[in-house]
Structure 1
Amino acid sequence: MFALLSLLLIPVIIYFAFYFQRIISFFYPQKNFFISIICFLIAVLFVYPARNFFSFWAVIVLHLFAFSLLTDMIMWLIHKKKSNHILDSIYRLGLIPLLCVCILLGYGYINMKDVHAVQYTIETQKQLSQNYKVAFISDLHFPNTMNKNELIQYCNDISKENPDFVLLGGDIVDERTTLQQMQQTFQALSTIQNQYGIYYVYGNHDQALYASQPAFTPEILKQTIEQNNIHILCDDSIRIQDEITLIGRDDRSHQRVSTSDLLQNVSSDDFLLLMDHQPVELDTNNQLQIDLQVSGHTHGGQMFPVGILSEWLGFGEMNYGYRQLSHMQVVVSSGIAGWGYPLRTGSQSEYLIINIQSQS
């Protein structure tokens, strides 16, 4: 994988060799083969660390590359009409793409930290004895974008919504979370005030299976969650108030049973709420008469234009938001935080408040 990415970065290296040479030529206009070699070596040192596509440096390099290309095209169009000495100087110094990257990354950081409370109303033909308010949190990836005190404040904000029960949709912690941070996370989440419990499903990152030396084992994670009175639903279900069946799937990255197997002893008269970290098997679950599926995982396309490209190219079954199928309704959250780096330019950070009610 790294070898392939390295090959793909060769055109980027060549481009930045000319980019740095253009900057140097502003101060030393005379062409020099030695300077060209130096610029190429600088470009290699600048670009090569970006072969780790999920690194923060890759974000900087690729955005600078994109903004530089865009600037080149704009300057070419301007030069076709009229040359401007001041604008030419700014362009040769490479300041325009640098400024654009700084603005974008600054916005990405602020946007990531700005968490929204998003409301959905789900109506069902099934008769419920009351309206239910459900809080849904996914993709926290603690502590990538917030500290313990900030998390506690969000938990307090959710408590003020008076949810009947709370759903934790996976990737609450990940490979970068320390043992102490993992313990602090579930201690904080357990303080959310509710009527009927807090329920959790595994994501693909929670158990730190991608780390060579994880800070905690899956057993310690499970023990910590349960010690904080949070119920783990791993291919399991639980009945709430004798009229809602909450079905929690293990993540699709693990070996798991089918949804149909989980419905064997479930009453079809209940409102069937399925929680799956990844928004998958939507058609199957719809055919099985699931009433509502809630998922996360996609981050709504954390970095622009990932979300748009996913939709256009058909990657995944659903990227973000609400969808009504022939029977089932689906809600996919972009998550309360994000993975990899504390930046979000393609979506918003959010937790969900889902109101479930019978049709009047």
Structure 2
Amino acid sequence: MRSFFYFWSAVGVLLTGLYWLMYRRGFTFLNHAFVLCFFLCLPLLFCAVNVWGPSLAIEPRLLRPFAFLGGYWLAFFHYSVYAGILYILLRLAGLLAGNGAAWQHAYTLYAKGAFVVVMAILVYGAWNAVHPVVREVEHDTGKNLPQPVKIVLVTDIHLGSLFGRQYAVELTELINRQNADVVLFGGDQVDNSLTYLLREKSYEPLQNIINKYGVYGILGNHDHFDGRIQTELELFHSVGFHMLVDEAVDLPCHIHLVGLEDYRSEPRNPYLERLAGQDPGKANLLLEHQPRRFWEAEKAGYDLYMAGHTHGGQQAPLNFVTKRMYLLDYGSKKFGNMMGITSCGYGLWGSPVRIGSTPEIVVITLK
């Protein structure tokens, strides 16, 4: 994972000079050398927080402002790249047309407009990222359940450098307002390092989740990055989570629940079929982090397949990438007799900015 941060920070430093040259054409205050130095320091800050932050003896709450600043840079960089590509095309068109006074004026207007638009996207995306919604889904399993079962699905909370204890408090309050029978966590409880959770104990507020039949969780790809899986399992077990790693459990509400290990760790997982419930009177549910096995789950007889991982692209137009990668990168869809649900997640990775998706929990009513 460190190589990822090294690479993109290096790319960020190299491209910073290019979009600085573009933006300074529109606004004179950007011409100062200290502005360029500030821009150049941001990708280095992003790298430092993510690579060396966990090893520093600094309280997470003190490090968090720097994590946010580096994260905002990542979103600013992302959209500045698109603006820069269009600027280069505009300059090429102007070059072919002779670069007259009208074209010079057009370059300046574009630079001003691009900077304002990117900053507006950043501000909106930052606000959107911390205003979650509740998405509701109903599904008739055809299993004659004695009464409807309300499930709250929460995926990708990514506790770490960006979001910590207060974030978990707010999430717990939101879950408790739903009066859930069962609460499911769909992986990526941890962002990149377990150290932040151990120092801040950001997992502790989750012990206050109110439910009837239990809180269950699985592992995601980010949960494996730190390499301390057993420690993570023990932490969440201590706050009342039943962590399912290729395991199944039968709930009193006539539900057979299966939780699988992350696809990256077990791309060919025999437990999908092996653990499928055989009782025709129980709803057969499968919880997996990455939404990759809808048809396999339908064939195995599951009534409901739940996943997360994609973040809905997190920042458009990356949602077009996730749409090409997964059969269902976000939303709800029937696959034969099975309902498939992919959540865009409650938390974030890398950048506290969401464009084109809104953080959510999913309330599923089974009948």
In which range does the TM-score fall when normalised by the shorter chain? 0.7 to 0.9
The answer to whether the Cα contact below 8 Å between 2:197 and 2:203 also exists between their aligned partners in 1 is no
**Mapped pair 1:244 → 2:255:** yes
Q: Deviations over 1:112-138 (max 9, x none)?
A: 101111111111211000111111111
In structure 1, the gaps of 5 or more residues are 28-37
Aligned residue in 1 for 2:125:
108
AA aligned opposite 2:180: P
Q: Which moved more, 1:335-344 or 1:55-64?
A: 55-64
1:247 offset after TM fit, Å? 0.7
Aligned residue in 2 for 1:191:
208
Aligned residue in 2 for 1:261:
274
1:95 offset after TM fit, Å? 2.5
Q: Deviations over 1:197-225 (max 9, x none)?
A: 0001111112434xxxx6xx222211111
The answer to whether the Cα contact below 8 Å between 2:164 and 2:197 also exists between their aligned partners in 1 is no
Distance 1:316 1:288 in 2: 19
2:109 counterpart (74, 77, 91): 91
SS of 1:206's equivalent?
helix
Q: Deviations over 1:230-261 (max 9, x none)?
A: 11111111111262101111111223433111
Q: Which has the higher helix share?
A: 2
Q: Deviations over 1:89-118 (max 9, x none)?
A: 7438x3222222211111111111011111
Residue correspondence of structure 1 range 1-360 to structure 2 within 5 A: 16=18, 20=21, 23=24, 56=71, 57-70=73-86, 88=106, 90-91=108-109, 94-143=111-160, 145-181=162-198, 184-209=201-226, 217-241=228-252, 243-255=254-266, 256-263=269-276, 266-311=278-323, 314-357=324-367
1:186 offset after TM fit, Å? 3.0
Distance 1:201 1:14, change over 3 A: closer
1:184 offset after TM fit, Å? 3.0
In structure 2, the gaps of 5 or more residues are 51-69
The answer to whether the Cα contact below 8 Å between 1:50 and 1:58 also exists between their aligned partners in 2 is no
Matched length? 328
Bigger radius of gyration among the two: 1
* RMSD value, Cα: 3.9
Distance 1:182 1:166, change over 3 A: farther
Distance 2:162 2:180 in 1: 24
SS of 2:140's equivalent?
strand
Q: Which moved more, 1:197-206 or 1:143-152?
A: 143-152
Q: Which moved more, 1:96-105 or 1:143-152?
A: 143-152
Distance 2:24 2:112 in 1: 9
Aligned residue in 2 for 1:32:
none
Distance 1:247 1:352 in 2: 18
SS of 1:152's equivalent?
helix
Aligned residue in 2 for 1:30:
none
SS of 2:315's equivalent?
coil
Distance 2:23 2:215 in 1: 58
